[in-house]
Amino acid sequence: MTLVSSDLARAAALLQQEQLVAIPTETVYGLAGNIFSETAIKGIFEMKQRPLFNPLIVHTHSLENVSQFVREIPPKAAQLAEAFWPGSLTLVLPKKNTVPDLITAGKDTVAVRVPNHPITLELLRSLNFPLAAPSANPFGCISPTRPEHVQQYFDGQLKMVLDGGACTQGIESTIVGFDKGEPIIYRLGAIAVEAIEAVVGPVQILNKKEHAPQAPGMLSRHYAPNTPTFLVDNIQEFIVQHPNKKIGVLSFSETVAAPQVHALQLLSPTANLQEAMSRLYAAMHTLDALQLDLIVAQRFPDTGLGKSINDRLQRATKGKY
C-alpha cells in the first residue's frame, strides 16, 4: 500500500535512492524523481505510461539554482521569473548538456519552474539535485489535486505520497517559451495570459501540438475523465436532449435541476474564476467516480483564468456537441 505521509526526511531518502515520490505543489501533485537518475526518469515514464516524446518539467527551489542547468535566461524570462516565482509559471529555456535528453525529449531546451508550496520547497532545498515532476496520474487522466487522488491511481506501485493537503491553484502551471527572446505561451494554466502580458507585453499563444511538442501539456486529448464528457454553452439544452441518461453536471455558478441530473458540482457560487479553477479537477474526480452515463460541463467566460479552465475542459471531452 502506498504511504501517505508528511515525513520530509523519508521522502528525501526515497528520492536519493532513485525511487519516485508524489509531491504536492500549488498546482497539482507531481510524480517526482531525480533528474540525473536514468532509473528514476524511466520509472516516471513507465508508471505514467507517458510517451517519451513528451518532455518533463524540472522543479527547483530558486531562480539562482536554475542557472546550474540552463545556458541562458533571456531578459523577458528573467522578468517573468521575478514576477511569478515561486509560483505557477514554467519557463522553457536553453539547457546545459548536464540535463539528460530523456528529460527534454531530445530537445535543446528544458522546462523549469520554482513551485510555490512550502513543503516541496523545503524538500527541494534539502536535496542536491532538482526533481522532474509531471502530474502524478496515468497519462491523459485527470490530474490529482489531493493525496487520495494519487493513491487511487498508483496504490501499491508508488512507495510514498508526500502529503501537502489540497492544491490551492488546482490546474497546471502556465508554460512560456521564447523565440528570439520573445515569449510564447505553450500551455495555458494557473497564471492568466493577461497577467503574463502585464509583465512582458503581448504574447503569442501556441497551445496545442500533437507531434514533438515543445513543452508538456500540449496534446489535444488530456486531463480526461473515463466518463464521456461534453463541454457546452447551454447545459439545460444538453440535458433535454439526453432524457434517459444519468448525467453529472459541472457548473461554474448556476444550480441545475432535472430528473437526469444525478450529481451537480458547483465550482463557485459567487462566480469567482480563481475559486472555480482551484476546484475543477477535484470536482471532475468526484463525478467520474459515480458511474454516470455522461458528464456535461459549462463553458466558462473566455477571459482571464476562464481561458485556462476552458482549455482543460476542452481537452477532457470525448465527444463534440
Q: What's the CA gap between 125 and 134, in Å, rounded? A: 19
Tell me what pLDDT residue 320 has. Answer: 47
Closest CA to 61 of 9, 111, 119, 124: 124
The topology (CATH level 3) of 3-205 is: DHBP synthase (3.90.870)
pLDDT per residue over 196-205, tens digit each? 999 999 999 9
Note the pLDDT of residue 208: 60
pLDDT at 307: 96
Under CATH, which number does the domain 229-316 receive? 3.40.50.11030
Q: What is the pTM of this model?
A: 0.94
Question: How far apart are the C-alpha atoms of 296 and 254, rounded to whole Å?
Answer: 13
Mind listing the pLDDT tens digit for each residue in 71-84? Answer: 999 999 999 999 99
Same fold, 3-205 and 229-316: no
89 neighbors 80 (Cβ within 8 angstroms): yes
The residues of the chain scoring below 50 in pLDDT are: 320-321
pLDDT value at residue 223? 78
Cell numbers 458540482 correspond to 265
How high is the pLDDT of residue 300?
A: 96
Domain boundaries of the chain, sorted by first residue: 3-205, 229-316
Q: What span, in angstroms and rounded, lies between the C-alpha atoms of 276 and 235?
A: 17
* Res 218: pLDDT: 58
Residue 321: predicted pLDDT: 42
